[in-house]
Structure 1
């Protein structure tokens, strides 16, 4: 009677662990996809920032040349074409007595896409870490499935041996492993 009860309960627990491993595997795949999407978006935002930086750098180079040539009309023409982000940085650099190595190194210079790239990269890292966590949860349930299979094996084998002490030993070991698995399983998160 104990053997049938143990086999029945462990069979259900084995199926449950397989179901949970599958669910966590799905969550892992979704999180990896989201991490990849965020990484791609971060790269696009960084490309936008790099393009803006290149545009600003080109204008600044022309400004330096015009300023060196003391062509005030060309200097004014170029300054009118500064991007809003660069104009703010240029003004801060100018007001700071031009002590910094240029307007690109002042804190005020933040080309469009820079902050978005940083935020999206952080989001990608977080989703990647979450996917690894989900993967571990799935692996934990898979390990329990294997251990429950061991319990089923030991329980079935306990009925095949002739020596009573061997039957009790195998059944006792099966019960100990099953209890250990149940205790471990109760500490795992559940995904339905």
Structure 2
């Protein structure tokens, strides 16, 4: 009888210990899932903001390109008509970016189809649009990674809930072998979950 009582006390101590540890780990996983969910939302917001800015910069570049194309068209017509004064007048109104490309085009013997196809031609907003688009893509990828991290912690929460269930079932009034098997299974699953948890990144 005394031996049976000692066994129950030892079993209860182990059970309480397992329940306490798993409860802490479950709470930790819930906390981390929430933190990574927040990081995901921030990254998505940053990606959206960067895309809006990239669209604005691309619009600026498109408008600048349209202006340069219009001026260049008038220049071509004036040069074709041999109106040198008008040609000079139009050239004075070239934008700095177009002037750089135009000079490179002239220096190259006008072998290219026009100044606007020259690598030197970079309308304002072009590089900004490229950089912001790259930033938006990077932030979007970061958001997806953070989302997966949150999901991983959520899955561990479910795993630890299973451990709590098995531990609770081991307290039922059934055969000792069944109780020991349930508790042992709970410990094994809990240890496996803890080992996996150690591989996850932490966000405080």
TM class by shorter chain equals over 0.9
* CA drift at 1:18: 0.2
* CA drift at 1:161: 4.7
Larger radius of gyration: 2
Partner of 2:29: 17
- Counterpart-to-counterpart distance in 2, 1:173 and 1:61: 80
- Counterpart-to-counterpart distance in 2, 1:97 and 1:165: 93
SS in 1 for 2:116: coil
- Counterpart-to-counterpart distance in 1, 2:148 and 2:57: 32
Pick the aligned partner of 2:201 from 173, 189, 192.
189
Q: Tell me whether 1:136 sits opposite 2:148 in the alignment.
A: yes
Give RMSD over aligned pairs: 0.7
Pick the aligned partner of 2:76 from 58, 64, 68.
64
Q: Which runs of 5+ in 1 are unaligned?
A: none
Partner of 1:169: 181
Q: Provide runs of 4+ in structure 1 moved above 4 Å.
A: none
Aligned length: 192
Encode CA deviations 1:125-175: one digit per residue, 9 max, x unaligned.
111111111111111100000000000000001111512221111111111
The aligned runs of 1:96-175 (5 Å cut-off) are 96-175=108-187
- Counterpart-to-counterpart distance in 1, 2:192 and 2:63: 59
**TM-score (normalised: structure 2):** 0.93
* CA drift at 1:10: 0.3
SS in 2 for 1:34: helix
Encode CA deviations 1:31-68: one digit per residue, 9 max, x unaligned.
11001101111111010000000000000011111111
- Counterpart-to-counterpart distance in 1, 2:82 and 2:175: 106
Pick the aligned partner of 2:43 from 28, 31, 39.
31
Q: Tell me whether 1:53 sits opposite 2:65 in the alignment.
A: yes
SS in 2 for 1:104: helix
Which segment is superposed worse, 19-28 or 161-170?
A: 161-170
- Counterpart-to-counterpart distance in 1, 2:70 and 2:133: 27
Partner of 2:9: none
Partner of 1:7: 19
Partner of 2:7: none
